[in-house]
Amino acid sequence: MSNLSSFNPEQWVQKYSDALYAYTVVRVNDSGLAEDLVQETFSSAWKSRASYKAEASEKNWLYAICKNKIIDHYRKNANNIVRPAEINTSENYFNEEEHWKKEAAPSDWGIDYNLPIETKEFYLILELCKNKLQEMQQSVFVMKFMEGLESDEICKALNITPSNYWVLIHRAKLQLRSCLEKNWINPT
């Protein structure tokens, strides 16, 4: 196991930087920013290496630091997002009676929905679909489904109310589902 004397900048960066970068770039959707966050992750880890306890693996420890950097980015960014007047996107999906419009209703994807998805294509398309979401929807989506935070932590970090949160999640899910169906299941 690693101990303090094994902390070597070259080895560290060679061993972990690509993985941390891939982890970060799909979460912040900006390669320059991802690079900065990885750099900050290493420098925070480096400065606090004295307090590193070997009970967490070195890798998990670095991921935990990186995760905090990403959440911190979204927290700071929340203040800068120009929040557009709530556009009611639900009429894209529902008619006046609030039932599914014929063209927007879900169709069966013909897969086992409970099995983990292993095809690269799914993740690539999910990424593209996620990047088309409004900024606040993206923030809650990443924090909830990629970082696994609790909704009350997310509300606090982004300074939104629980009802804002549910509306954002609902719209993000409607849009992602529809985007995946169009581009992953039925590409033209």
Partner 1 sequence: MISCKEATFLISKKEENKLSFVEKIKLKMHLLICSFCRLFEKQSKLISMNASKSHQHYTAVLSDSSKENIIQNLKDVSD
The residues that touch partner 1, with contacts defined as CB under 8 A, are 9-10, 12-14, 17-19, 21-23, 25-27, 31, 34-35, 38-39, 42-43, 46-47, 90, 93-94, 97-100, 105-109, 113, 116-118, 120, 122-124, 126-127, 141, 145-148, 151, 166, 169-170, 173-174, 176-177, 180-181
Judged by beta carbon, residue 55 or residue 108, the one nearer partner 1 is 108
Q: Residue 32 Cβ, how far from partner 1 at the closest point, in Å?
A: 10
Q: Residue 71 Cβ, how far from partner 1 at the closest point, in Å?
A: 14
Judged by beta carbon, residue 82 or residue 146, the one nearer partner 1 is 146
Q: What are phi and psi of 80, to 5 degrees?
A: -95, -10
Instruction: Indicate the burial class of 62 (C-beta count within 10 angstroms; 0-12, 13-18, 19 or more).
Output: buried
C-alpha span between 131 and 137 (Å, rounded): 10
Q: Residue 55 Cβ, how far from partner 1 at the closest point, in Å?
A: 23
The upper half-sphere exposure of residue 101, i.e. CA atoms within 13 Å in the direction of its Cβ, equals 12
Burial 124-141 (b: 16+ CB within 10 A, else e): ebbeebbeebbebbbbbb
C-alpha span between 176 and 169 (Å, rounded): 10
Judged by beta carbon, residue 7 or residue 75, the one nearer partner 1 is 7
Judged by beta carbon, residue 55 or residue 118, the one nearer partner 1 is 118
Q: Residue 100 Cβ, how far from partner 1 at the closest point, in Å?
A: 5
Residues facing residue 94 across a β-bridge = 100
Torsion (CA) 132, 138, 144, 146 in degrees, nearest 10: 60
Provide the CA 70 distance to its chain's centre, in angstroms. 9
Q: Residue 103 Cβ, how far from partner 1 at the closest point, in Å?
A: 12
Judged by beta carbon, residue 64 or residue 105, the one nearer partner 1 is 105
